[in-house]
Structure 1
Amino acid sequence: MDPIKTRRDGAILEVTLDRPKANAIDLATSRIMGQVFAEFRDDPELRVAILTGSGEKFFCPGWDLKAAAEGDAVDGDYGVGGFGGLQELRDLNKPVIAAVNGIACGGGLELAISADMILAAEHATFALPEIRSGTVADAASVKLPKRIPYHIAMELLLTGRWFDAEEGHRWGLINEILPANQLLDRAWELARLLASGPPLVYAAIKEVVREAEDRKFQDAMNLITKRQLRTVDVLYSSEDQLEGARAFAEKRDPVWKGK
């Protein structure tokens, strides 16, 4: 069976991880996910992606340990986007929403925090239990201390303890908590809002945020003002930039063309 299900509606792509019983990711599944998200990145008609898991219990528990026991190498070929197709995918300048429908632990939590926004079902739970199996949550060790307070991130990494959606929301990791039966509806509502927005601006925002992360403020601003970032240069020379100004002057909604 295909471990990844996709649904396309207009400019929105829904990607569902569907590997019973727990939606764990093996090497083959990771490579498929990388291909799916690379095609999403490169398709000019697609503007927003939603990532979720099948069923009501698991979003994703991360690495498939059963597959590992049968020969999948933990340092094997994860595919073009790294583990889960998102963590290392270059130039992904479109919004991605994670709709966490259940347990998200280990690599599953790392996958969720690779998205731009996280919606969670009320019953969703989270953990980074790698410490208990003698390994490192590598992507989380890089990203989590930049997403939430340092001491909380270190506690989660060093203890591997579980936390619920409410705590995740309190630390700013989760945008919204919803009843399970409303999770995907809200994800699609948010995706439609984003899909109606200016895609060139979104691309510039994502590249600026990415490039500015490890730079001093003025160095990052110089990249922008001197148009040294590709997406910013495209935006400042685009029809959409003129359309935004005209729509404001004419007191109407802009019509974005993405060019």
Structure 2
Amino acid sequence: MSDEEFLVESRGALTVLTLNRPQARNALNGNLIAGIGATVLAAEQDPEIRALVLTAAGDKAFCSGMDLRAFAGGEDVGFSDTPENRAFQRLTRGKVEVPVIGAANGTAVGGGLELLLGCDLIVAADTAKFGLPEVQRGLFPGGGGTYIAERIPLGIALQLTLTGDYFTAARGYEIGLFNAVTPADQVLDTAIAFAERIAANGPLGVAACKELVRLSVTDPGKATDRLRHWQGVVFASADAEEGATAFMEKREPVWQGK
């Protein structure tokens, strides 16, 4: 699947989605948001896809956030109630059913950083800058940026959102926001390596970890209930039996996702 503003590539069990508007710093217009949402839906509906990698073209910016020119022109930039827009919104809240790895090849501010915050793992270029500067413009990061405290200590989250200051990739790694920082030309390969390691694991166990670890931060009470659900599903599954059998037979497991 491809469009001049976004590219979708299959790499075995992975889907790689590339934002392809480098001339506009990969700003999010209606077409790009719909394309991201459609790719999310396709990945969730394909049992062979085990992870989604999100990256961008060019070396200047991963994403500069909403395309203000498109917004000012009355374009639908993700606000209407369509399946694609709903899927995009779920992505920004970390609620995509498959693991998502962000590969930030360049700067990500405002909505661009909010898009990364919806990813489960993030790899950042060592030359990139990041920030949530909305308060400096009389706004606030209303696309999910205020949930940054789910990933980093509260005091640092407040500092970043209240000042709107930019920070480096190294600082992002230091505070636990990023999983790896690499030279820009190694960002995508590093993200794909993470995705391949995840995709090699039992899909039911991965799904359980993705949901339960996030819930342990956002809704501990619900996490307890869902833990019981996942215990019943995963430990009684054919994949659990296959995992144990493959370990004893010293071979790679063959997962069925059930």
- Determine the structure 1 residue equivalent to 2:160: 156
- Asked whether the 8 Å contact 1:94–1:199 carries over to 2, the reply is no
Q: Distance in 1 between matches of 2:253 and 2:44?
A: 24
C-alpha distance after superposition, 1:119-154 (max 9, x if no partner): 011111101111122222024444211211111111
Structure-2 change in CA distance of 1:75 and 1:3 (3 Å): closer
- Asked whether the 8 Å contact 2:94–2:120 carries over to 1, the reply is no
- Asked whether the 8 Å contact 1:235–1:241 carries over to 2, the reply is yes
- Aligned-residue RMSD, C-alpha: 2.1
Q: How does 1:199-214 map to 2 (within 5 A)?
A: 199-214=203-218
Decide which moves more: 249-258 or 36-45: 249-258
Structure-2 change in CA distance of 1:34 and 1:129 (3 Å): same
Partner amino acid, structure 2, of 1:11: A
Q: TM-score, normalised by structure 1?
A: 0.89
The reply to whether residue 29 of structure 1 matches residue 28 of structure 2 is: no
From 37, 56, 59, give the equivalent of 1:56.
59
Q: How does 1:90-239 map to 2 (within 5 A)?
A: 90=95, 92-216=96-220, 220-225=223-228, 227=229, 232-239=231-238
Structure 1 residue 233: Cα displacement:
4.0
Structure 1 residue 19: Cα displacement:
1.4
C-alpha distance after superposition, 1:35-67 (max 9, x if no partner): 111111111010011101100011001111111
How many pairs were matched up? 252
From 4, 7, 10, give the equivalent of 2:9.
7
Q: TM-score, normalised by structure 2?
A: 0.89
Share of identical aligned residues, percent?
39
Structure 1 residue 28: Cα displacement:
2.9
Structure 2 portions without partners, runs of 5+: none
- Determine the structure 2 residue equivalent to 1:86: 91
C-alpha distance after superposition, 1:46-90 (max 9, x if no partner): 00111011000110011111112212367732712245x612575
C-alpha distance after superposition, 1:72-109 (max 9, x if no partner): 367732712245x612575x232111000001000100
Structure-2 change in CA distance of 1:204 and 1:27 (3 Å): same
Partner amino acid, structure 2, of 1:80: R
User: After TM superposition, what 4+ stretches of structure 1 lie above 6 angstroms from structure 2?
Assistant: none
- Determine the structure 2 residue equivalent to 1:69: 72
Partner amino acid, structure 1, of 2:92: Q
Partner amino acid, structure 2, of 1:220: A
Partner amino acid, structure 1, of 2:75: D
